[in-house]
Structure 1
């Protein structure tokens, strides 16, 4: 009987059973410089958790945005709407539902931004562990609307 494929089985690696070979992450383009328990590998693994959380929260944020848009387009001025909480559907007033969803959107935006800040720090630590220079332009933040107005005023003369 042929051996089954297993990620930890040495034959699964094409005959190479090296645990200290550099590994390249396709998601970040970063390479771990030590083995699976080394300094670089631990830093690389610490990057994946915030990335997965950002993706999950972004999916939830998009669903909320779609639901808010559907509530906005609903022709009925007021009344009750059905809202799903876990495995229950509850009738709630439309205005209350909109407020809850907008607060949830703000909370999700805040949490995603915090995770992105955390990810920046972890990526810099990984690059430091690999002996590479810090990424240029990675710590940039978008301009606020007020800053954009000032820039436009300056450019217009």
Structure 2
């Protein structure tokens, strides 16, 4: 079951179906047919522009991220695909707060739908810090098929981990 570590918590019949597709060699072609395109956002600047555009479209009143970048040091085994950090600093007599969004470098290789899903996830953290009902409602507001994309990303990660 360790080869399916990204699918823990999903119903057993769904996990078994993915395992059958993986064992028969049909999972890769299925994912390629479902998501044929490759992500074109390869630089940190392009990623920043992409995130800013989505933020302006859906979260106009949320604070602007000070930095957005790909990060090759995120722990994929622990499940960290993106982070949203907040740093508070005192400048003069004012307290300045800035946040950074870091996306795992592997998203340069994924279909654009998966990059969109993880960006939506991190942008939702600008409003909701916890993974609660309001957080997932915000994700679904920005990306209506958020939950399906999250599952498909986990399937893609499972295929990638299997080699």
**Same fold, judged at TM 0.5 (above):** no
- Higher RCO, Cα 8 Å, sep 6+: 2
TM bracket, shorter-chain basis? under 0.3
TM superposition score normalised by structure 2: 0.21
Larger Rg: 1
